[in-house]
Structure 1
Protein backbone atom coordinates (compact mmCIF):
# COMPACT_ATOMS: atom_id res chain seq x y z
CA UNK A 1 0.00 0.00 0.00
CA UNK A 2 1.31 3.45 -0.90
CA UNK A 3 1.76 5.67 2.11
CA UNK A 4 0.36 9.19 2.19
CA UNK A 5 3.89 10.57 2.63
CA UNK A 6 4.68 9.68 -0.99
CA UNK A 7 2.08 12.07 -2.37
CA UNK A 8 4.12 15.29 -1.99
CA UNK A 9 7.13 13.51 -3.50
CA UNK A 10 5.10 12.44 -6.53
CA UNK A 11 3.75 15.96 -6.94
CA UNK A 12 7.27 17.40 -6.83
CA UNK A 13 8.33 15.06 -9.64
CA UNK A 14 5.44 16.02 -11.90
CA UNK A 15 6.93 17.15 -15.21
CA UNK A 16 4.97 17.97 -18.37
CA UNK A 17 8.12 18.45 -20.46
CA UNK A 18 7.67 15.28 -22.59
CA UNK A 19 4.08 16.24 -23.45
CA UNK A 20 5.12 19.80 -24.33
CA UNK A 21 8.07 18.71 -26.48
CA UNK A 22 6.14 16.02 -28.37
CA UNK A 23 3.09 18.19 -29.08
CA UNK A 24 5.25 21.18 -30.03
CA UNK A 25 7.68 19.48 -32.38
CA UNK A 26 5.16 17.16 -34.05
CA UNK A 27 3.08 20.14 -35.20
CA UNK A 28 6.16 22.23 -35.98
CA UNK A 29 7.62 19.43 -38.12
CA UNK A 30 4.28 19.04 -39.91
CA UNK A 31 4.19 22.78 -40.63
CA UNK A 32 7.79 22.81 -41.91
CA UNK A 33 7.17 19.87 -44.25
CA UNK A 34 3.90 21.37 -45.50
CA UNK A 35 5.46 24.76 -46.27
CA UNK A 36 8.54 23.14 -47.85
CA UNK A 37 6.30 21.14 -50.21
CA UNK A 38 4.26 24.25 -50.94
CA UNK A 39 7.36 26.22 -51.93
CA UNK A 40 8.63 23.29 -54.00
CA UNK A 41 5.40 23.27 -55.99
CA UNK A 42 5.25 27.04 -56.30
CA UNK A 43 8.87 27.54 -57.39
CA UNK A 44 9.55 24.38 -59.39
CA UNK A 45 6.17 23.77 -61.01
CA UNK A 46 4.31 27.08 -61.08
CA UNK A 47 7.49 29.20 -60.96
CA UNK A 48 5.90 32.05 -59.04
CA UNK A 49 5.17 33.01 -55.47
CA UNK A 50 2.84 35.52 -53.87
CA UNK A 51 2.39 37.29 -50.54
CA UNK A 52 0.54 34.36 -48.98
CA UNK A 53 3.54 32.07 -49.61
CA UNK A 54 6.05 34.34 -47.90
CA UNK A 55 3.69 35.11 -45.03
CA UNK A 56 3.15 31.43 -44.26
CA UNK A 57 6.95 31.01 -44.36
CA UNK A 58 7.25 33.83 -41.80
CA UNK A 59 4.59 32.13 -39.68
CA UNK A 60 6.53 28.86 -39.69
CA UNK A 61 9.75 30.72 -38.84
CA UNK A 62 8.03 32.29 -35.81
CA UNK A 63 6.58 28.94 -34.80
CA UNK A 64 9.98 27.24 -35.07
CA UNK A 65 11.59 29.98 -32.97
CA UNK A 66 8.83 29.56 -30.40
CA UNK A 67 9.37 25.78 -30.36
CA UNK A 68 13.09 26.30 -29.73
CA UNK A 69 12.32 28.63 -26.81
CA UNK A 70 9.84 26.10 -25.41
CA UNK A 71 12.45 23.35 -25.72
CA UNK A 72 14.93 25.40 -23.69
CA UNK A 73 12.08 26.17 -21.29
CA UNK A 74 11.31 22.47 -20.84
CA UNK A 75 14.99 21.55 -20.42
CA UNK A 76 15.23 24.12 -17.62
CA UNK A 77 12.42 22.44 -15.64
CA UNK A 78 9.83 24.87 -16.97
CA UNK A 79 7.11 22.21 -16.97
CA UNK A 80 7.37 21.43 -13.26
CA UNK A 81 5.51 23.10 -10.41
CA UNK A 82 7.02 26.47 -9.48
CA UNK A 83 7.18 25.45 -5.81
CA UNK A 84 9.70 22.71 -6.68
CA UNK A 85 12.13 24.99 -8.55
CA UNK A 86 15.17 26.84 -7.26
CA UNK A 87 14.92 30.63 -7.51
CA UNK A 88 17.37 30.80 -10.43
CA UNK A 89 15.37 28.15 -12.32
CA UNK A 90 12.13 30.00 -11.67
CA UNK A 91 13.56 33.29 -12.95
CA UNK A 92 14.96 31.64 -16.09
CA UNK A 93 11.81 29.70 -16.96
CA UNK A 94 9.51 32.65 -16.29
CA UNK A 95 11.64 34.83 -18.57
CA UNK A 96 11.52 32.18 -21.31
CA UNK A 97 7.75 31.96 -20.88
CA UNK A 98 7.41 35.69 -21.57
CA UNK A 99 9.82 35.54 -24.53
CA UNK A 100 7.76 32.79 -26.18
CA UNK A 101 4.50 34.74 -26.12
CA UNK A 102 5.22 37.37 -28.82
CA UNK A 103 6.64 34.60 -31.03
CA UNK A 104 3.40 32.67 -30.63
CA UNK A 105 1.29 35.75 -31.37
CA UNK A 106 3.34 36.70 -34.45
CA UNK A 107 3.09 33.15 -35.79
CA UNK A 108 -0.69 33.05 -35.40
CA UNK A 109 -1.10 36.55 -36.83
CA UNK A 110 0.99 36.00 -39.96
CA UNK A 111 -0.67 32.63 -40.54
CA UNK A 112 -4.14 34.20 -40.58
CA UNK A 113 -2.96 37.03 -42.84
CA UNK A 114 -1.49 34.42 -45.20
CA UNK A 115 -4.80 32.54 -45.41
CA UNK A 116 -6.65 35.81 -46.06
CA UNK A 117 -4.17 36.74 -48.81
CA UNK A 118 -4.68 33.32 -50.40
CA UNK A 119 -8.45 33.86 -50.41
CA UNK A 120 -8.03 37.32 -51.94
CA UNK A 121 -5.73 35.90 -54.62
CA UNK A 122 -8.09 33.08 -55.58
CA UNK A 123 -11.41 34.92 -55.35
CA UNK A 124 -13.26 36.58 -58.16
CA UNK A 125 -12.88 40.31 -57.32
CA UNK A 126 -15.61 41.00 -54.76
CA UNK A 127 -15.47 44.41 -53.01
CA UNK A 128 -17.42 43.40 -49.90
CA UNK A 129 -15.29 40.32 -49.27
CA UNK A 130 -12.06 42.26 -49.77
CA UNK A 131 -13.19 45.05 -47.43
CA UNK A 132 -14.32 42.53 -44.81
CA UNK A 133 -11.02 40.67 -44.74
CA UNK A 134 -8.84 43.79 -44.84
CA UNK A 135 -10.86 45.41 -42.04
CA UNK A 136 -10.74 42.34 -39.81
CA UNK A 137 -7.02 41.85 -40.38
CA UNK A 138 -6.33 45.50 -39.59
CA UNK A 139 -8.21 45.20 -36.30
CA UNK A 140 -6.40 41.95 -35.47
CA UNK A 141 -2.93 43.37 -36.14
CA UNK A 142 -3.73 46.48 -34.10
CA UNK A 143 -5.09 44.51 -31.13
CA UNK A 144 -2.24 41.99 -31.15
CA UNK A 145 0.34 44.78 -31.35
CA UNK A 146 -1.26 46.52 -28.37
CA UNK A 147 -1.37 43.21 -26.47
CA UNK A 148 2.36 42.58 -27.02
CA UNK A 149 3.33 46.16 -26.14
CA UNK A 150 1.18 46.05 -23.01
CA UNK A 151 2.63 42.66 -22.13
CA UNK A 152 6.16 44.08 -21.84
CA UNK A 153 5.32 47.53 -20.50
CA UNK A 154 2.98 46.42 -17.71
CA UNK A 155 5.90 46.46 -15.29
CA UNK A 156 8.63 49.06 -14.84
CA UNK A 157 11.37 47.94 -15.15
CA UNK A 158 10.46 45.02 -17.40
CA UNK A 159 12.60 42.51 -15.45
CA UNK A 160 9.95 42.59 -12.74
CA UNK A 161 7.93 40.23 -14.95
CA UNK A 162 10.29 37.36 -14.19
CA UNK A 163 12.11 38.61 -11.07
CA UNK A 164 9.89 40.91 -8.96
CA UNK A 165 12.24 40.73 -5.97
CA UNK A 166 15.06 42.38 -7.94
CA UNK A 167 13.21 45.69 -8.14
CA UNK A 168 11.60 46.55 -4.78
CA UNK A 169 10.84 50.08 -6.00
CA UNK A 170 9.35 48.99 -9.32
CA UNK A 171 5.65 48.95 -10.10
CA UNK A 172 3.17 47.11 -12.32
CA UNK A 173 -0.30 47.87 -13.57
CA UNK A 174 -3.14 45.58 -12.52
CA UNK A 175 -2.71 42.15 -14.11
CA UNK A 176 -6.38 41.97 -15.08
CA UNK A 177 -5.79 44.83 -17.57
CA UNK A 178 -3.36 42.65 -19.54
CA UNK A 179 -5.67 39.64 -19.15
CA UNK A 180 -8.65 41.56 -20.56
CA UNK A 181 -6.57 42.80 -23.50
CA UNK A 182 -5.30 39.27 -24.19
CA UNK A 183 -8.83 37.88 -24.11
CA UNK A 184 -10.03 40.62 -26.46
CA UNK A 185 -7.22 39.94 -28.94
CA UNK A 186 -7.88 36.19 -28.75
CA UNK A 187 -11.61 36.76 -29.31
CA UNK A 188 -10.80 38.79 -32.42
CA UNK A 189 -8.55 36.01 -33.75
CA UNK A 190 -11.22 33.41 -32.98
CA UNK A 191 -13.79 35.35 -34.98
CA UNK A 192 -11.31 35.68 -37.87
CA UNK A 193 -10.75 31.90 -37.77
CA UNK A 194 -14.48 31.46 -38.23
CA UNK A 195 -14.61 34.00 -41.09
CA UNK A 196 -11.61 32.40 -42.84
CA UNK A 197 -13.41 29.04 -42.66
CA UNK A 198 -16.77 30.32 -43.91
CA UNK A 199 -15.65 32.69 -46.70
CA UNK A 200 -13.98 29.98 -48.86
CA UNK A 201 -17.11 27.83 -48.53
CA UNK A 202 -19.19 30.75 -49.79
CA UNK A 203 -16.78 31.17 -52.73
CA UNK A 204 -16.88 27.49 -53.71
CA UNK A 205 -20.66 27.31 -53.46
CA UNK A 206 -20.94 30.01 -56.12
CA UNK A 207 -18.86 28.03 -58.64
CA UNK A 208 -20.40 26.07 -61.50
CA UNK A 209 -19.62 22.45 -60.64
CA UNK A 210 -21.22 19.20 -59.59
CA UNK A 211 -23.16 19.64 -56.34
CA UNK A 212 -21.58 16.56 -54.79
CA UNK A 213 -18.11 17.99 -55.44
CA UNK A 214 -19.21 21.31 -53.99
CA UNK A 215 -20.35 19.64 -50.78
CA UNK A 216 -17.14 17.61 -50.50
CA UNK A 217 -14.91 20.65 -51.01
CA UNK A 218 -16.99 22.78 -48.64
CA UNK A 219 -16.76 20.13 -45.92
CA UNK A 220 -12.99 19.99 -46.40
CA UNK A 221 -12.60 23.78 -46.26
CA UNK A 222 -14.91 24.16 -43.28
CA UNK A 223 -12.55 22.11 -41.11
CA UNK A 224 -11.02 25.49 -40.34
CA UNK A 225 -13.88 25.85 -37.88
CA UNK A 226 -11.83 23.60 -35.59
CA UNK A 227 -9.36 26.47 -35.24
CA UNK A 228 -12.26 28.57 -34.00
CA UNK A 229 -13.08 25.90 -31.42
CA UNK A 230 -9.50 25.76 -30.14
CA UNK A 231 -9.43 29.56 -29.99
CA UNK A 232 -12.54 29.58 -27.81
CA UNK A 233 -10.87 27.11 -25.43
CA UNK A 234 -7.84 29.38 -25.31
CA UNK A 235 -10.01 32.37 -24.41
CA UNK A 236 -11.53 30.43 -21.51
CA UNK A 237 -8.05 29.49 -20.29
CA UNK A 238 -6.87 33.11 -20.52
CA UNK A 239 -9.30 33.99 -17.73
CA UNK A 240 -6.69 32.51 -15.39
CA UNK A 241 -3.91 34.68 -16.83
CA UNK A 242 -4.00 37.07 -13.89
CA UNK A 243 -2.98 34.23 -11.56
CA UNK A 244 0.76 33.67 -11.98
CA UNK A 245 1.25 31.70 -8.75
CA UNK A 246 2.31 28.59 -10.69
CA UNK A 247 3.24 30.00 -14.08
CA UNK A 248 5.52 27.08 -14.95
CA UNK A 249 2.87 24.37 -14.57
CA UNK A 250 -0.63 25.74 -15.08
Structure 2
Protein backbone atom coordinates (compact mmCIF):
# COMPACT_ATOMS: atom_id res chain seq x y z
CA UNK A 1 0.00 0.00 0.00
CA UNK A 2 1.42 3.36 -1.06
CA UNK A 3 1.72 6.50 1.11
CA UNK A 4 -1.52 8.23 2.05
CA UNK A 5 -2.03 11.55 0.27
CA UNK A 6 -3.01 14.19 2.83
CA UNK A 7 -3.52 17.94 2.69
CA UNK A 8 -3.85 18.06 6.48
CA UNK A 9 -0.38 19.56 7.19
CA UNK A 10 -0.88 22.24 4.52
CA UNK A 11 -4.26 23.17 6.00
CA UNK A 12 -2.76 23.51 9.47
CA UNK A 13 0.19 25.63 8.34
CA UNK A 14 -1.85 27.95 6.11
CA UNK A 15 -4.74 28.22 8.56
CA UNK A 16 -2.70 29.05 11.65
CA UNK A 17 -0.56 31.54 9.73
CA UNK A 18 -3.72 33.33 8.60
CA UNK A 19 -5.09 33.35 12.16
CA UNK A 20 -1.78 34.71 13.48
CA UNK A 21 -1.32 37.47 10.91
CA UNK A 22 -4.92 38.64 11.12
CA UNK A 23 -4.67 38.57 14.92
CA UNK A 24 -1.54 40.73 14.76
CA UNK A 25 -3.25 43.30 12.54
CA UNK A 26 -6.29 43.34 14.80
CA UNK A 27 -4.14 43.77 17.93
CA UNK A 28 -2.33 46.72 16.31
CA UNK A 29 -5.68 48.22 15.31
CA UNK A 30 -6.91 48.06 18.91
CA UNK A 31 -3.57 49.43 20.17
CA UNK A 32 -3.86 52.42 17.83
CA UNK A 33 -7.37 53.13 19.09
CA UNK A 34 -6.19 53.25 22.70
CA UNK A 35 -3.04 55.15 21.68
CA UNK A 36 -5.29 58.01 20.58
CA UNK A 37 -7.64 57.54 23.56
CA UNK A 38 -10.60 56.82 21.29
CA UNK A 39 -11.82 53.57 22.76
CA UNK A 40 -13.51 50.83 20.77
CA UNK A 41 -16.53 51.33 18.52
CA UNK A 42 -19.11 48.74 17.50
CA UNK A 43 -17.14 47.95 14.35
CA UNK A 44 -14.12 47.04 16.50
CA UNK A 45 -16.19 44.66 18.65
CA UNK A 46 -17.73 42.97 15.60
CA UNK A 47 -14.30 42.60 13.98
CA UNK A 48 -12.97 41.07 17.20
CA UNK A 49 -15.89 38.61 17.18
CA UNK A 50 -15.02 37.71 13.58
CA UNK A 51 -11.43 36.92 14.55
CA UNK A 52 -12.57 34.78 17.49
CA UNK A 53 -14.84 32.87 15.10
CA UNK A 54 -11.89 32.40 12.74
CA UNK A 55 -9.85 31.03 15.64
CA UNK A 56 -12.64 28.61 16.65
CA UNK A 57 -12.98 27.47 13.04
CA UNK A 58 -9.27 26.67 12.89
CA UNK A 59 -9.45 24.72 16.16
CA UNK A 60 -12.31 22.64 14.71
CA UNK A 61 -10.36 22.06 11.50
CA UNK A 62 -7.23 20.98 13.36
CA UNK A 63 -9.21 18.42 15.34
CA UNK A 64 -10.88 17.19 12.17
CA UNK A 65 -7.45 16.80 10.54
CA UNK A 66 -6.36 14.61 13.45
CA UNK A 67 -9.26 12.28 12.50
CA UNK A 68 -8.24 12.14 8.85
CA UNK A 69 -9.68 15.24 7.18
CA UNK A 70 -7.47 16.22 4.25
CA UNK A 71 -7.07 12.60 3.13
CA UNK A 72 -9.07 10.81 0.48
CA UNK A 73 -12.30 9.34 1.83
CA UNK A 74 -11.21 5.77 1.05
CA UNK A 75 -8.06 6.19 3.17
CA UNK A 76 -9.94 7.23 6.33
CA UNK A 77 -11.14 4.91 9.06
CA UNK A 78 -14.90 4.48 8.47
CA UNK A 79 -15.59 5.05 12.16
CA UNK A 80 -14.24 8.63 11.84
CA UNK A 81 -16.30 9.67 8.83
CA UNK A 82 -19.40 10.66 10.83
CA UNK A 83 -17.35 12.80 13.23
CA UNK A 84 -15.50 14.43 10.33
CA UNK A 85 -18.85 15.17 8.66
CA UNK A 86 -20.25 16.77 11.82
CA UNK A 87 -17.07 18.80 12.39
CA UNK A 88 -17.20 19.87 8.76
CA UNK A 89 -20.69 21.28 9.15
CA UNK A 90 -19.76 23.06 12.38
CA UNK A 91 -16.61 24.47 10.80
CA UNK A 92 -18.49 25.66 7.70
CA UNK A 93 -21.07 27.46 9.85
CA UNK A 94 -18.46 29.19 12.00
CA UNK A 95 -16.43 30.08 8.90
CA UNK A 96 -19.45 31.74 7.27
CA UNK A 97 -20.17 33.71 10.45
CA UNK A 98 -16.53 34.84 10.65
CA UNK A 99 -16.59 36.03 7.04
CA UNK A 100 -19.89 37.90 7.25
CA UNK A 101 -19.01 39.52 10.59
CA UNK A 102 -15.69 40.78 9.26
CA UNK A 103 -17.43 42.34 6.25
CA UNK A 104 -20.18 43.76 8.45
CA UNK A 105 -17.55 45.43 10.63
CA UNK A 106 -16.12 47.32 7.66
CA UNK A 107 -19.62 48.29 6.58
CA UNK A 108 -20.26 49.68 10.06
CA UNK A 109 -17.07 51.72 9.74
CA UNK A 110 -18.33 53.22 6.49
CA UNK A 111 -21.65 54.12 8.13
CA UNK A 112 -19.77 56.56 10.37
CA UNK A 113 -18.37 58.57 7.46
CA UNK A 114 -21.10 58.33 4.82
CA UNK A 115 -24.31 60.29 4.41
CA UNK A 116 -27.76 59.96 2.82
CA UNK A 117 -27.78 57.76 -0.29
CA UNK A 118 -24.34 56.29 0.34
CA UNK A 119 -25.34 55.34 3.87
CA UNK A 120 -28.50 53.67 2.52
CA UNK A 121 -26.35 51.71 0.06
CA UNK A 122 -24.10 50.49 2.87
CA UNK A 123 -27.10 49.42 4.93
CA UNK A 124 -28.50 47.51 1.94
CA UNK A 125 -25.18 45.69 1.48
CA UNK A 126 -24.89 44.79 5.17
CA UNK A 127 -28.45 43.45 5.43
CA UNK A 128 -28.54 41.49 2.15
CA UNK A 129 -25.07 40.05 2.63
CA UNK A 130 -25.95 38.81 6.13
CA UNK A 131 -29.18 37.26 4.85
CA UNK A 132 -27.52 35.55 1.88
CA UNK A 133 -24.64 34.06 3.87
CA UNK A 134 -26.76 33.13 6.87
CA UNK A 135 -29.07 31.20 4.57
CA UNK A 136 -26.04 29.35 3.20
CA UNK A 137 -25.12 28.28 6.75
CA UNK A 138 -28.73 27.32 7.52
CA UNK A 139 -29.13 25.10 4.47
CA UNK A 140 -26.33 22.90 5.78
CA UNK A 141 -28.44 22.04 8.82
CA UNK A 142 -31.90 21.76 7.26
CA UNK A 143 -31.09 19.84 4.08
CA UNK A 144 -31.58 16.45 5.74
CA UNK A 145 -34.40 14.89 7.75
CA UNK A 146 -33.42 13.93 10.37
CA UNK A 147 -30.62 16.51 10.72
CA UNK A 148 -28.10 13.86 11.82
CA UNK A 149 -28.35 12.20 8.42
CA UNK A 150 -26.24 15.09 7.14
CA UNK A 151 -23.15 13.49 8.71
CA UNK A 152 -24.36 9.93 9.32
CA UNK A 153 -25.32 8.84 5.84
CA UNK A 154 -26.44 5.36 6.93
CA UNK A 155 -29.34 6.71 9.01
CA UNK A 156 -32.85 6.28 7.53
CA UNK A 157 -34.30 9.51 6.17
CA UNK A 158 -33.94 11.84 3.19
CA UNK A 159 -31.77 14.78 2.08
CA UNK A 160 -32.03 17.42 -0.60
CA UNK A 161 -30.10 17.05 -3.80
CA UNK A 162 -26.46 18.00 -2.95
CA UNK A 163 -26.49 20.42 -5.89
CA UNK A 164 -28.92 22.72 -4.04
CA UNK A 165 -26.44 23.45 -1.25
CA UNK A 166 -23.50 23.61 -3.65
CA UNK A 167 -25.09 25.98 -6.16
CA UNK A 168 -26.49 28.25 -3.48
CA UNK A 169 -23.05 28.30 -1.84
CA UNK A 170 -21.57 29.51 -5.12
CA UNK A 171 -24.21 32.23 -5.37
CA UNK A 172 -23.83 33.49 -1.79
CA UNK A 173 -20.03 33.41 -2.03
CA UNK A 174 -20.01 35.32 -5.31
CA UNK A 175 -22.48 37.87 -3.95
CA UNK A 176 -20.33 38.34 -0.86
CA UNK A 177 -17.24 38.90 -3.00
CA UNK A 178 -19.06 41.43 -5.17
CA UNK A 179 -20.19 43.35 -2.10
CA UNK A 180 -16.60 43.33 -0.82
CA UNK A 181 -15.50 45.15 -3.95
CA UNK A 182 -18.40 47.63 -3.76
CA UNK A 183 -17.59 48.42 -0.11
CA UNK A 184 -13.93 48.85 -1.06
CA UNK A 185 -14.76 51.39 -3.78
CA UNK A 186 -17.28 53.46 -1.79
CA UNK A 187 -14.61 55.29 0.28
CA UNK A 188 -13.23 56.97 -2.85
CA UNK A 189 -16.39 59.03 -3.35
CA UNK A 190 -16.48 59.87 0.35
CA UNK A 191 -12.82 60.76 0.79
CA UNK A 192 -12.61 62.81 -2.39
CA UNK A 193 -15.12 65.36 -1.07
CA UNK A 194 -13.25 65.97 2.19
CA UNK A 195 -11.13 69.05 2.89
CA UNK A 196 -7.82 67.20 2.80
CA UNK A 197 -4.65 67.36 0.74
CA UNK A 198 -4.86 65.36 -2.48
CA UNK A 199 -1.96 63.14 -1.42
CA UNK A 200 -3.69 62.42 1.88
CA UNK A 201 -6.98 61.65 0.11
CA UNK A 202 -5.33 59.08 -2.13
CA UNK A 203 -3.54 57.48 0.82
CA UNK A 204 -6.71 57.15 2.87
CA UNK A 205 -8.77 55.88 -0.07
CA UNK A 206 -6.20 53.22 -1.00
CA UNK A 207 -5.91 52.10 2.61
CA UNK A 208 -9.68 51.66 2.79
CA UNK A 209 -9.84 49.79 -0.51
CA UNK A 210 -7.87 46.72 0.58
CA UNK A 211 -11.19 44.85 0.76
CA UNK A 212 -10.82 44.27 -2.99
CA UNK A 213 -8.43 41.43 -2.15
CA UNK A 214 -10.99 39.89 0.19
CA UNK A 215 -13.50 39.98 -2.66
CA UNK A 216 -11.07 38.18 -4.96
CA UNK A 217 -10.54 35.53 -2.29
CA UNK A 218 -14.30 35.03 -1.99
CA UNK A 219 -14.52 34.43 -5.76
CA UNK A 220 -11.79 31.79 -5.61
CA UNK A 221 -13.50 30.04 -2.68
CA UNK A 222 -16.83 30.03 -4.52
CA UNK A 223 -15.24 28.43 -7.57
CA UNK A 224 -14.07 25.51 -5.40
CA UNK A 225 -17.47 24.64 -3.88
CA UNK A 226 -18.61 22.47 -6.78
CA UNK A 227 -15.61 20.17 -6.15
CA UNK A 228 -17.58 18.75 -3.20
CA UNK A 229 -19.99 17.14 -5.66
CA UNK A 230 -17.27 14.66 -6.59
CA UNK A 231 -18.03 12.73 -3.39
CA UNK A 232 -14.49 12.94 -1.97
CA UNK A 233 -15.40 15.76 0.45
CA UNK A 234 -12.72 14.86 3.03
CA UNK A 235 -10.00 15.64 0.48
CA UNK A 236 -11.55 18.24 -1.82
CA UNK A 237 -12.84 20.14 1.21
CA UNK A 238 -9.35 21.47 1.93
CA UNK A 239 -9.89 24.11 -0.78
CA UNK A 240 -12.85 25.57 1.09
CA UNK A 241 -11.11 25.46 4.46
CA UNK A 242 -8.01 27.32 3.26
CA UNK A 243 -9.77 29.86 1.05
CA UNK A 244 -12.53 30.38 3.61
CA UNK A 245 -9.95 31.19 6.29
CA UNK A 246 -8.09 33.43 3.84
CA UNK A 247 -11.29 35.37 3.04
CA UNK A 248 -11.92 36.24 6.70
CA UNK A 249 -8.26 36.86 7.55
CA UNK A 250 -7.73 39.20 4.59
CA UNK A 251 -10.94 41.09 5.42
CA UNK A 252 -9.75 41.59 9.02
CA UNK A 253 -6.35 42.82 7.84
CA UNK A 254 -7.91 45.06 5.20
CA UNK A 255 -10.28 46.59 7.77
CA UNK A 256 -7.35 47.23 10.13
CA UNK A 257 -4.96 48.87 7.65
CA UNK A 258 -6.66 52.32 7.63
CA UNK A 259 -6.39 52.54 11.43
CA UNK A 260 -2.73 51.49 11.35
CA UNK A 261 -1.93 54.73 9.52
CA UNK A 262 -2.07 56.32 12.97
CA UNK A 263 0.80 54.09 14.09
CA UNK A 264 2.78 54.95 10.95
CA UNK A 265 2.38 58.67 11.69
CA UNK A 266 3.54 58.13 15.28
CA UNK A 267 6.64 56.27 14.08
CA UNK A 268 7.47 59.04 11.58
CA UNK A 269 7.05 61.71 14.25
CA UNK A 270 9.25 59.80 16.69
CA UNK A 271 11.91 59.38 13.98
CA UNK A 272 11.95 63.11 13.21
CA UNK A 273 12.31 63.97 16.88
CA UNK A 274 15.09 61.45 17.34
CA UNK A 275 17.18 62.92 14.55
CA UNK A 276 16.44 66.48 15.53
CA UNK A 277 14.27 67.42 12.60
CA UNK A 278 11.89 70.28 13.18
CA UNK A 279 9.48 72.31 11.07
CA UNK A 280 7.49 75.47 11.51
CA UNK A 281 4.40 73.36 11.86
CA UNK A 282 5.95 71.71 14.94
CA UNK A 283 6.43 75.17 16.48
CA UNK A 284 3.26 76.97 15.56
CA UNK A 285 0.71 74.32 14.72
CA UNK A 286 -0.49 71.64 17.10
CA UNK A 287 -3.13 69.28 15.81
CA UNK A 288 -5.13 66.87 17.90
CA UNK A 289 -6.92 64.45 15.55
CA UNK A 290 -8.79 62.82 18.42
CA UNK A 291 -10.40 66.08 19.50
CA UNK A 292 -10.62 67.64 16.04
CA UNK A 293 -9.02 70.89 17.29
CA UNK A 294 -6.30 72.99 15.65
CA UNK A 295 -4.29 75.54 17.65
CA UNK A 296 -2.30 78.44 16.17
CA UNK A 297 -0.09 80.64 18.35
CA UNK A 298 1.42 84.03 17.44
CA UNK A 299 3.64 86.25 19.56
CA UNK A 300 3.22 90.01 19.16
CA UNK A 301 5.97 92.31 20.45
CA UNK A 302 5.28 96.04 20.98
CA UNK A 303 8.17 98.39 20.36
CA UNK A 304 8.02 102.14 20.89
CA UNK A 305 8.54 104.34 17.86
CA UNK A 306 8.11 107.86 16.67
CA UNK A 307 4.95 107.04 14.78
CA UNK A 308 2.22 109.43 15.71
CA UNK A 309 -0.66 107.02 15.68
CA UNK A 310 0.67 103.82 17.17
CA UNK A 311 3.29 101.46 18.37
CA UNK A 312 5.23 99.37 15.86
CA UNK A 313 4.71 95.64 16.31
CA UNK A 314 6.60 92.53 15.27
CA UNK A 315 4.67 89.30 15.01
CA UNK A 316 5.05 85.70 13.90
CA UNK A 317 1.78 85.48 12.06
CA UNK A 318 -0.47 87.53 9.81
CA UNK A 319 -1.64 90.13 12.33
CA UNK A 320 -1.53 93.89 11.51
CA UNK A 321 1.89 95.59 11.35
CA UNK A 322 0.83 98.49 13.61
CA UNK A 323 -1.34 98.76 16.66
CA UNK A 324 -3.47 101.87 16.14
CA UNK A 325 -5.15 104.32 18.50
CA UNK A 326 -6.99 101.58 20.37
CA UNK A 327 -3.70 100.83 22.15
CA UNK A 328 -3.74 104.17 23.96
CA UNK A 329 -4.58 102.58 27.30
CA UNK A 330 -1.55 100.31 27.01
CA UNK A 331 0.69 103.28 26.12
CA UNK A 332 -0.48 105.25 29.10
CA UNK A 333 0.31 102.36 31.41
CA UNK A 334 3.73 101.38 30.08
CA UNK A 335 4.87 104.90 29.22
CA UNK A 336 5.60 104.40 25.55
CA UNK A 337 6.61 108.00 24.99
CA UNK A 338 9.56 107.72 27.37
CA UNK A 339 11.36 104.75 25.83
CA UNK A 340 11.54 105.09 22.06
CA UNK A 341 12.80 102.04 20.19
CA UNK A 342 12.66 99.67 23.13
CA UNK A 343 10.62 96.48 23.59
CA UNK A 344 7.87 97.32 26.02
CA UNK A 345 5.45 94.40 25.93
CA UNK A 346 5.10 90.91 24.42
CA UNK A 347 1.70 89.32 23.89
CA UNK A 348 1.00 85.75 22.89
CA UNK A 349 -2.22 85.25 20.97
CA UNK A 350 -3.69 81.77 20.62
CA UNK A 351 -6.46 80.97 18.16
CA UNK A 352 -8.39 77.70 18.46
CA UNK A 353 -10.89 76.37 15.97
CA UNK A 354 -12.53 73.03 15.10
CA UNK A 355 -12.10 71.06 11.92
CA UNK A 356 -15.11 70.11 9.83
CA UNK A 357 -17.05 67.17 11.25
CA UNK A 358 -16.46 64.87 8.27
CA UNK A 359 -12.69 65.46 8.36
CA UNK A 360 -12.60 64.81 12.12
CA UNK A 361 -14.57 61.57 11.75
CA UNK A 362 -12.20 60.43 9.01
CA UNK A 363 -9.25 61.26 11.24
CA UNK A 364 -10.71 59.22 14.07
CA UNK A 365 -11.31 56.29 11.83
CA UNK A 366 -7.92 56.22 10.12
Structure 1 length normalisation: TM-score?
0.87
Residues 1:115 and 2:106 aligned together: yes
CA distance in 1, matches of 2:163, 2:140: 11
Give the distance between the partners of 1:41 and 1:219, measured in 2 at CA.
19
Offset from partner CA, 1:112-171 (integer Å, 9 cap, x none): 1100111112x1x41111110111111111122222221111011122122211x1x310
- Quick one: distance in 2 between partners of 1:162 and 1:190? 29
Is the aligned partner of 1:194 residue 2:194?
A: no
Answer yes or no: is the 8 Å Cα contact 2:110–2:122 preserved in 1.
Answer: no
Q: Pick from 2, 13, 19 the counterpart of residue 9 of structure 1.
A: 2
Report what 1:102 is aligned to: 93
Displacement of 1:33: 2.2
Q: Deviations over 1:88-115 (max 9, x none)?
A: 1222222211110010000011101100
Contact 2:170 2:222 in 1 (8 A): yes
Does the alignment pair 1:27 with 2:8?
Answer: no
In the TM superposition, residue 240 of structure 1 has moved relative to its aligned partner by: 2.9
Of residues 140-149 and 102-111 in structure 1, the stretch that sits farther from structure 2 once superposed is: 140-149
How well do the aligned residues superpose, as a CA RMSD in angstroms?
1.8
TM-superposed CA distance for 1:44, in Å, is 5.4
Q: Which runs of 5+ in 1 are unaligned?
A: 1-7
Aligned with 1:80 (options 68, 71, 76): 71
Structure-2 residue corresponding to 1:181? 168
Secondary structure, aligned partner of 1:219? helix
Cα 1:152–1:73, aligned 2, differ >3 Å: closer, same or farther? Answer: same
Instruction: Confirm whether residue 55 of structure 1 aligns to residue 57 of structure 2.
Output: no
CA distance in 2, matches of 1:141, 1:211: 35
CA contact (8 A) 2:43 2:108 kept: yes
Query: Rg: which structure is higher?
Result: 2
Instruction: Please say if 1:147 is aligned against 2:133.
Output: no
Residues in 2 aligned to 1:233 and 1:62: alpha-carbon distance in whole angstroms:
21
- Superposed CA deviations along residues 56-79 of structure 1, whole A, max 9, x for unmatched, are 011011001001001111122211
Distance 2:226 2:75 in 1: 25
What residue number does 1:249 align with? 235
By percentage of residues, which structure has more strand? 2
Counterpart secondary structure, 2:81:
helix
Segments of 4+ in structure 1 off by > 6 A?
A: none
CA distance in 2, matches of 1:119, 1:170: 47
2:126 to 125, 133, 137: 137
Provide the TM-score with structure 2 as the length reference.
Answer: 0.61
Q: Which of residues 213, 216, 226 in structure 1 aligns to 2:213?
A: 226
Aligned residues: 236
What secondary structure, in the 3-state scheme, does the structure 2 residue paired with 1:180 have?
helix
In structure 2, C-alpha distance between the alignment counterparts of 1:220 and 1:44, rounded to whole Å: 20
2:202 to 212, 215, 225: 215
